[in-house]
Amino acid sequence: MKRGLLGLVISALVLLPPLGEPYVLHVAIVVLIHVVYAQALYVIMRMGYLSFGHAGYIALGGYTSALLATKLGISPWIGFLAGGIVAALFAWALGTVTLKLRGIYFSLSVFAFAEVVNAVFRAFEVFGGPAGIAAVPRPALFGTQLTTHLQFYYVVLVVSLVSLFFLYRLQWTRFGCTLLALRTRATEALAESIGINAARHKTFAFVVSCFFCGVMGAVHVHYLRFVSPFVFTFFLSTDLLVYVMVGGLGSYWGPMLGTVLLTGLGEQLFAAGYYKSLVYAVVLLVVILALPGGLISPPRIFRRGGREPAVPEAAAATAARER
């Protein structure tokens, strides 16, 4: 049943777009890109880590590819990969230092990192300064540049489906299950006692998370055909968090649900300017207060006999005092 539904959704995503108008395609592209961002963020949130700076890694990926394409004329296809790799390298460097810490220390250091990345892009002319980099080319396939929404939609679709499939499978590998065991300091100590190298697992998870953000960031920039320090800001990082939390941490489908609903809604609110963040924030607070497990979890009143909520919240409660 679930598999059939998934097949139906994927075939709709593949077959329907030629019928759609450019605007609908635009919304679909934006939603797909953000789904991958949120799902990548979910990798580390599953192990109890919260990042306030994923936009920094997205920006690193985007800038890498944009610079390669505009300064050196390197094909965006290579740029996508290069973007992912650069983001992953920086993630590795920061992760080895800060992932040893638990909770808020990690979150704050990633936040600071992203702000510095932005400041550096703003400061140096090599990176385009405050104006950013314009005229970022679209990738070409068999000699034709993919300039229309429809053509680029398929690029995004392929990259995001591959990423999402990988991230989905990752959960159920030995590695993915081990990440669940690292959620709290106590379980982490248990895992280490049976010979699991927690630090290496956590670093690798963070690297994977940032790799996909970097790749998708590169795709994103080539879609926008432009990047500046004001594209991937703190607000993107918080938006991603909002998507994941509103959707719910209990299952892989939670962040996806949250992202699809909110980015779709956000596009409708785009003209409303600042009201977009306002609506997001209100939705976030309402969901968190009423449904701490996110939209994917049933409301408290439907839960039988006051059963304990799913693992994430329980883990979060114990994690509260840890760093």
State the residue for tokens 């990738």: 139
Q: How far is the CB of 139 from another protein (least distance, A)?
A: 32
Q: How many CB atoms lie within 10 A of CB 244?
A: 24
Residue 28: φ, ψ to 5°: -60, -40
Give the DSSP letter of residue 141.
Answer: E
Q: Give how far the C-alpha of residue 77 lies from the chain's centroid of Cα atoms, to the nearest Å.
A: 20
Torsion sign over Cα 237, 241, 243, 249: positive
Q: How far is the CB of 48 from another protein (least distance, A)?
A: 8
Alpha carbon separation from 69 to 153, 156, 157, 177 (Å, rounded): 20, 18, 21, 38
Residue 270 binding another protein, by CB under 8 A: no
Interface characters, 119-158, with another protein (x: CB under 8 A) = xx-xx-----------------------------------
Q: How far is the CB of 129 from another protein (least distance, A)?
A: 10
How many residues touch another protein (CB under 8 A)? 52
Element (H, E) at 276: helix 275-290
- Under the phi-then-psi rule, with left for phi > 0, alpha for psi from -120 to 50, and beta for the rest, what region is 101? beta
Residue 288 binding another protein, by CB under 8 A: yes
Residue 274 binding another protein, by CB under 8 A: yes
Q: Is 208 exposed, middle or buried (0-12, 13-18, 19+ CB in 10 A)?
A: buried
Give the DSSP letter of residue 321.
Answer: T
Among 70, 151, 187, 277, binds another protein (CB under 8 A): 277
Stretch that binds another protein, among 57-65, 138-146, 148-156, 240-248 (CB under 8 A): 240-248
Q: How far is the CB of 128 from another protein (least distance, A)?
A: 14
Q: How far is the CB of 51 from another protein (least distance, A)?
A: 11
Residue 10 binding another protein, by CB under 8 A: no
Binding to another protein in span 103-122, by CB under 8 A = 103-105, 107-109, 111-113, 115-116, 119-120, 122
Structure tokens at 103: 């909770």
Tell me the chain's radius of gyration from C-alpha atoms. Answer: 20
Among 13, 24, 261, 316, binds another protein (CB under 8 A): 316
Q: Which chain residues interact with another protein by CB under 8 A?
A: 45, 50, 52, 94, 97-98, 100-101, 103-105, 107-109, 111-113, 115-116, 119-120, 122-123, 234-235, 238, 241-242, 245, 249, 273-278, 280-282, 284-285, 288-289, 292, 312-313, 316-317, 319-321, 323
